[in-house]
Chains A and B, each alone.
Chain A
Amino acid sequence: MSLLSLEFLTLSLAAILIVRAAPEPLRTVGFVGVSLWFITSYLDATGLAAMLLLCLVGYGFARGAQRTPRVGTVGIVLLTIAFIWMQRYSFLELFVPERLLPNTLVAAGLSFLFFKIVHVIVDSAGGTIGKLTLPLYLSYCLNFTAWLLGPIQRYQSFEGQWSGREEPLAPTFEAHLDALNRVLRGLVKKYVVAEMLAHHALMPGQDVAGVGQVLVGIYVFYFFLYFDFSGYCDIVIGIGRFMGVRPPENFYLPFFSPNIAQFWLRVHRSLTLWLTDYVFNPSFAAFLRSNRFARRPILSASMAMMITMLVSGLWHGTTANFLLFGLLHGVYLVTFRVFEAVLQRRLGRKGLRALRRRRLWGGLSTFLTFNVTVWAYLCFVLDAASLATLWARVWMKVLG
């Protein structure tokens, strides 16, 4: 379903009306119904059944984890296996017979749903989620504004806004006008600017032409991706504000990031925060607890960062090039952190802060961050074979 369609407008208006005006339990049931209306435009019956089953199994494990935290660990392991199988990761073909792999593609929205369920299970085990009811849990999991491409909202935030504890929109004309402008801005970004850029960008599945053409195309792709994804987020955040359940902010001008760590806080921020909480922090803590790495915080942080970015890469896609994307960003982050630690040792905290404040330093580091992040998107767009061809062509040019 296009977000620039009469059907989506009708669906959104129905959702706003239901969430703002309907009494419980009609409100929750109605919202789940509207969300399923949206989801069924992307999934067939098998896909929908698989999604709902994943939600229900996740709910069972989350409830179990509230009583016995170890149930949560078992649940996460089993759901991760199910996720890998449903996504049909390319490495599965190496050791799983073809007849045991899923035939139908149920990938739309699955990555986001999986991360939301894992979050609910972990937080249930940790005791930070209070009462977990099935209707509200389903509203959270299937919420149409955050189902297709995120942002990844936390259950606690969703529950707070759903129950009315958090005011999503001030009752003024200007606040409503701002929400409307947010939706319109998103539509223009996604359906006008991104559409125009798509004609000139290097897109997934495209053949590798000349090296120069690929380089120009990848810069255009970077901006295409930004306008397309951030435009989508503007639309759903705007609708969420009207509705009363607003997904979190996800983008903040990533091309002006002064370093790679800032880049990940400005692009797909909700994913970065999820990865920090559920992958980086536990891995870092585990390394620090071990006898071998306890006295090596930088090495421990570097290894935790590599693991986090590899998970991020594999979450973005199912093929080897996405693993490479994660690996590359892991190397970027580790290099940045080590470089920063060396600078701090030489200049001291005050010296490093003074260096960061210098305009030339800021400009150079922003320029470098922008370019290395653009190049990393080559792994996002091209498959492993095309990347190898491109790499060979670059070296042939370099060597004459």
Chain B
Amino acid sequence: MRGAGGRVRIVLKVGLAVLMIVVLVVFASGEYDFVYRAF
């Protein structure tokens, strides 16, 4: 049985995975000129 802390940890990890997938898709699509301009 997972406690409330365990569930929050899982949700955070899933969120992190989704965020990283979004970042990778954006970079893989080549639509990331705005990042270079920021540097």
Contact = CB atoms under 8 A, between A and B. Distances in A.
Interface of A: 4, 173-174, 177-178, 180-181, 184-185, 187-188, 191-192, 195-196, 199-200
Contacts of B10: 173-174, 177
Contacts of A180: 17
Interface string B14-39: 10110011011001100000011001
Nearest to A191: B27
B20 A184 contact: yes
Contacts of A191: 24, 27-28
Given A181-B20, A184-B20, A185-B20, A192 B27 contact: yes
B28 A4 contact: yes
Contacts of A195: 27
Interface of B: 9-10, 13-14, 16-17, 20-21, 23-24, 27-28, 35-36, 39
Contacts of A184: 17, 20-21, 24
A173 to B, nearest CB: 7
Contacts of B14: 177
A196 B35 CA distance: 9
B16 to A, nearest CB: 6
A177 B10 CA distance: 8
Contacts of B35: 196
Contact of A188 (B13, B24, B39): B24
